[in-house]
Chains A and B, each alone.
Chain A
Amino acid sequence: MLSIKNLHASVEGKEILKGINLEIKAGEVHAIMGPNGSGKSTLSQVLAGNEAFEVTEGEITLNGDNLLELETEERAREGIFLAFQYPVEIPGVSNLQFLRTAVNAMRQHKGQDEMNAAEFMKLAREISKQVDLDPAFLKRGVNEGFSGGEKKRNEIMQALLLQPKLAILDETDSGLDIDALKVVSDGVNALRAEDRAILMVTHYQRLLNHIVPDYVHVLAGGKIIKSGGRELALELEERGYGWLGIKDEETADSSAN
């Protein structure tokens, strides 16, 4: 489904990703782990098409199509979904309006009729229950005044509404207490499907107790330095990153020097 070959990317002229290779097939769940500054979030942002990051070399294809030629919104319509590490607050745009506009943009792309307000409200209420968000949140501004946990649940809610082909979860576990982690994990597990792939980006392995990955990759200094099964995550939990020859504090920046 997703194929990344020799991907190099920079932000403000500084190279962060230095040759990533990754193949993800439909139905698989991959976890990317790594210390802070290793390039994990950069990879997520590049996949989603954030223009602040410049791809300098390599290729990304989704089901054979060149993803790098597509604008962010086109990628989303082709099935890429990024759950943000820091979901954005947008006062003045109601969550309901935002979600409905997004769902209808997808439907339009697929040649389906738009959902009217009543139909959408029904769907949104159901899904908000699934992620344990009070439907009252729908009337508020996008993420406005939401707690960290509520924001993350809102991200998962969006994934459930938009039904992507590839869901990228950027540090979705950060800032969650154990109950919220359970709710979010249940939501992610509900996303698992034969025709869908999930890419989890995480610093800690605790999320992986709830969402069991098929593959684990270690990202350091802008490259994947080790890949394995879920046992690799457990090993990292036990031994830290040190045994792989990297320091937890090490950044892509300093390793370049």
Chain B
Amino acid sequence: MKPAPTLSTAFLHPAGQSLPEPLLALRKQRGTALVDMPLPTRKTENWKYSSKYLKLTDDMAISLPAEGKTGSSLAVPGYKVAFLNGVMMPEACEYPDLDGISIKSFGDLSDDEASDLADRLDSTLDNKAVQMARLNSARFEDGLLIRLKPDAVLDQPLFIVHEVTAEASGSAFPRIFVDAGRHSQITLVEEYISSGSAQVMVNTVTEFNVAEGANITSVRLNMEGENVQHIGSTGVLQQRSSRFESHTVGFGGPLRRHDLQVRLEGEGAECKLNGVVVTQGKQHYDNHTTIEHVAAHCNSEETYRNIAADQSHAVFNGRIHIHQDAQKSNADMNNKNLLLSNGAEIDTKPELEIYADDVKCAHGATIGQLDEISLFYLVSRGIGRREANVLLTMAFINELVEQIPIEAVRETVQGRLNHFFEQAFQEA
């Protein structure tokens, strides 16, 4: 038998050395642990449908240079932080000094702050389940640390734009760490975009530490180009009575992967996870979510929708794990999928593991096509076939798009969806 392929050593050399010493040390230690790391193959359960899209050739191992200009597609009211190829661009950031809220690049941290952060990086993620997040820990060159003191409330959304410039092949390793103190509140938008057309990889990690009673709304927009492999992980650790709400919207690419892991560690914590994915052409997108009900009396609600056109391939894997002590858990997971062509593929797998005996746990997964009778009804009123298709496809995700909390974001998403529809439904 052929030995499993391992991560090329070319990937084990981070470029930038401008981080505080404790973070450099951590990065080095994580890098050492990656030697001979097996790459996911189709026999790796959580990469079964996606490993064939993963292409980590040596030319991808180079760190993309942190220079140039950034331009977000979001013209939005709010505070802005811009990263280029994983490194913060101070001149493109706009946010005031805020009482009780600290927004800093990793590079600007004092040694004490960096040492504290180094102790806590990766603590929200199950590294066995997110193999590729470990690569980020060995390679990040900068990052964003957001700390909210108890009761601090960010009065406007914070937009974090992560742009990758693909003039030549290489990789970028964006990283965000959020520390939300007791009863603090923040709405945060991560937007991933790209320019240039070389084959590149973006490997992200975002972590949320959500203290008692804190309330976080997170929006994640995956808007990168056709040349970008994106492998992202988000870890969320929730304490008592906290709330985490997530809206992820993703457009397909050569490889798109997002792992979202939420741990409900304190009683009364709740999370709501919404996701919309659209793919076309030969694009791919894979969402893997895990919700750990560790403490009792927690609620989770998850709604994901995939739409796959042409020969594209979408994957959803939703795991809910209810621990033995997590009595009175309430978990509801729903995944619906729409195939717009015979050549498209969607793989969906709900996974429930329940060890407590007094819980409510519901799940549903469906895969279908546009309803012929609905289509006939619309066209019988003179509505063109293309427009009828668009109306019905939009109807499939409308409920989720409408829940995205910021109007400017909804408009950006709608603009991208319209572009998708133009490609997916050619005028007959």
Seen from chain A, the residues whose Cβ lies within 8 Å of a Cβ on chain B are: 48-52, 71-73, 75-77, 81-82, 84, 87-88, 90-93, 97-98, 101-102, 105-106, 109, 141, 158, 162
Contact = CB atoms under 8 A, between A and B. Distances in A.
Contacts of A98: 378, 381, 383, 391
A101 B377 CA distance: 13
A90 B382 contact: no
A79 B173 CA distance: 59
A105 B382 contact: yes
Contacts of B377: 84, 87-88, 90
Contacts of A73: 379-380, 382-385, 388
Given A72-B376, A73-B380, A105-B384, 6 more contacts: A48-B380, A50-B376, A52-B372, A76-B380, A81-B381, A88-B374
A76 B376 contact: no
B398 interface: yes
Nearest to B402: A92
Interface in B378-410: 378-385, 387-388, 391-392, 394-399
Which 9 residue pairs of A and B lie closest in terms of their CB atoms, listed nearest first?
A92-B395, A76-B382, A102-B381, A88-B377, A73-B379, A105-B382, A92-B398, A72-B379, A93-B395
A90 B380 contact: no
A77 B398 contact: no
B395 to A, nearest CB: 3
A51 B399 CA distance: 30
20 contacts: A48-B380, A49-B380, A71-B379, A72-B380, A73-B379, A73-B388, A76-B380, A81-B380, A92-B394, A93-B391, A97-B391, A101-B383, A101-B391, A102-B381, A102-B383, A105-B382, A106-B382, A109-B382, A158-B381, A162-B382
Q: B interface, by DSSP: helix, strand, loop or mixed?
A: helix
A90 B395 contact: yes
B373 interface: yes
Contact of A101 (B387, B397, B399): B387
B381 A105 contact: yes
Given A50-B376, A72-B376, A84-B377, A90 B383 contact: no
Contacts of A88: 371, 373-374, 377
A49 B377 CA distance: 11
